[in-house]
Amino acid sequence: MVHNFNAGPSILPKEVLQQASESLLNFNNSGLSILEIGHRTALFEEVLHEAVSLVKELMRLDADHEVLFLHGGASTQFMQVPYNLLGEGQTAAYIDNGIWGSKAIKEARLFGNVNVVASSKDKNHTYLPKEFTTPADAVYLHYTTNNTVEGTQWQTVPETHLPLVADMSSDILSRELDFNKHALIYAGAQKNIGIAGVNLLVINKNMLGKVSRKIPTILDYRIHIENGSMLNTPPVFAIYVSMLTLRWIKKMGGVAGIEKLNNQKADLFYSTLDALPIFRGPVAKEDRSKMNAVFVMEDTSLEKQFLNVAKEENLYGIKGHRSVGGFRASFYNALPLTSVEVLVQVMKDFANKVG
């Protein structure tokens, strides 16, 4: 059995893979492949409608929040968010707590003033800066809920008087949150809710239409809302896989059920990590990510040997991001607890062998 700890694109539920593969040859007994159905036919409209309905149900969204499935990933939203929300001469507040937050800040500066109200750069983003003051005139506060590279995660929603904008790409629907507290949420689907190629957006429609600049049609959230994610040809297959994955989350007990499983995985891994002196977690314990656990070895000369052992045991994707090194194990929604059990046993066996 293969144990998939890849950081993204990531593991998918087996039943989703099975259903998606069957749809490639015959979608819903239509005789057509999901890859060749018309996007404005009832066949696909039913898929999109169900996907949107499932997001609203799982997130318990209120009537002010709209749901979109758009092309691209989070990197597109680094630009599209300030294009729609940050007017010329206005200020947006950003928290810099990792690579992706830094990229979002860079793009936002093309459209208005950016006030970086907090940063963890001083300690290589190994903690989350929770004490900050936001400008009274800022139009929103942007933060990244989970940091895939550095292995940190906000355990609670930041308290602020400003509308909240969140990049939830790597922990979307992995735990219960008050999603309605956010003015805008964006998330590439390829970690917890599907495959690469589609971006989930949840937008409080009251935030839109307040900038004076002209927004190109394809980048205007309002027009996408008016057209129900069908302004142009949508990524049909990616939305279909997201719909199947959302169905699976609901079947697993919804977000509460998924959160319970994710807590079990994280608790097992981190308790093992802390018990083995050969390994070390560089992230502040209170800020550890339940999605992406990063760890290193005190003796770096053993890293290649451990990676080889992991490969022999069919543990895939645990090499750390190239910018930080070490190791990273991703515990996304679809990863079974049994895979984490195998990983921690391999870590124990290795520690006993070399220690």
Which CATH number do you get for residue 202? Answer: 3.40.640.10
Q: What is the pLDDT of residue 138?
A: 98
Does 36 share its domain with 79?
yes
Number of domains in the chain: 2
Integer Cα distance of 202 and 97 in angstroms: 22
Structural domain includes residue 109: yes
Does 56 share its domain with 192?
yes
106 close to 266: Cβ distance less than 8 angstroms: no
Q: What are phi and psi of 352, to 5 degrees?
A: -65, -35
Structural domain includes residue 69: yes
Please provide the DSSP assignment of 251-315 as one string.
Answer: HTTHHHHHHHHHHHHHHHHHHHHHH-TTEE--S-GGGB-SSEEEEEESSGGGHHHHHHHHHHTTE
pLDDT bracket for residue 325 (50, 70, 90): confident
Does 311 share its domain with 230?
no
Structure tokens at 216: 């190109």
Of 219, 251, 283, the one marking the end of a domain is 251
Q: What is the pLDDT of residue 324?
A: 83
Of 251, 269, 286, the one marking the end of a domain is 251
Integer Cα distance of 92 and 165 in angstroms: 10
Q: pLDDT tens digits, residue range 78-88?
A: 999 999 999 99
Does 197 share its domain with 76?
yes
Identity of the residue numbered 89: G
Angle at 53 between CA 50 and CA 57, to 5 degrees: 135
Look at the alpha carbons of 189, 149, 261, 128 in this order and tell me if their dihedral is positive or negative.
negative
Q: pLDDT tens digits, residue range 6-57?
A: 999 999 999 999 999 999 999 999 999 999 999 999 999 999 999 999 999 9
Q: What is the pLDDT of residue 129?
A: 94
Q: What is the pLDDT of residue 18?
A: 98
Of 251, 284, 318, the one marking the end of a domain is 251
Does 182 share its domain with 306?
no
Q: In terms of Cα–Cα distance, which of 136, 132, 129, 201 is closest to 162?
A: 136
**pLDDT at position 322 over 90:** no
Taking residues 279-290, report their average pLDDT. Answer: 97
Does 58 share its domain with 179?
yes
- 181, with CB counted inside 10 A (0-12, 13-18, 19+), is middle
Structural domain includes residue 6: no
Q: In terms of Cα–Cα distance, which of 181, 202, 207, 217 is closest to 69?
A: 202
Structure tokens at 228: 């129900």
**pLDDT at position 245 over 80:** yes
Please tell me which residue in 100, 248, 290, 319 is annotated as part of the active site.
100
Does 117 share its domain with 199?
yes
Structural domain includes residue 3: no
Does 282 share its domain with 324?
yes
Does 65 share its domain with 158?
yes
245 close to 51: Cβ distance less than 8 angstroms: no
Q: pLDDT tens digits, residue range 117-164?
A: 999 999 999 999 999 999 999 999 999 999 999 999 999 999 999 999
Does 226 share its domain with 279?
no
Grouping H, G, I as helix, E, B as strand and the rest as coil, residue 73 is coil
Structural domain includes residue 7: no
Structural domain includes residue 5: no
Task: Report the CATH number at residue 294.
Answer: 3.90.1150.10
118 close to 132: Cβ distance less than 8 angstroms: yes
Integer Cα distance of 325 and 29 in angstroms: 48
251 classed as catalytic: no
Number of residues in the chain: 355
Residue ranges making up the domain that contains 293: 254-354
Please tell me which residue in 96, 154, 167, 248 is annotated as part of the active site.
167
Q: What is the pLDDT of residue 27?
A: 97
Does 175 share its domain with 309?
no
What average pLDDT is seen over the chain? 97
Q: What are phi and psi of 8, to 5 degrees?
A: 140, 135
**pLDDT at position 323 over 90:** no
Half-sphere exposure of 211 (CA within 13 A, CB side): 26
Does 244 share its domain with 265?
no
Please tell me which residue in 96, 191, 265, 290 is annotated as part of the active site.
191
103 classed as catalytic: no
Q: pLDDT tens digits, residue range 179-209?
A: 999 999 999 999 999 999 999 999 999 999 9
Integer Cα distance of 206 and 11 in angstroms: 36
100 classed as catalytic: yes
Instruction: Using a pLDDT cut of 70, give the percent of the chain over it.
Output: 100
Structural domain includes residue 213: yes
Structural domain includes residue 97: yes
Identity of the residue numbered 28: N
**pLDDT at position 355 over 80:** no
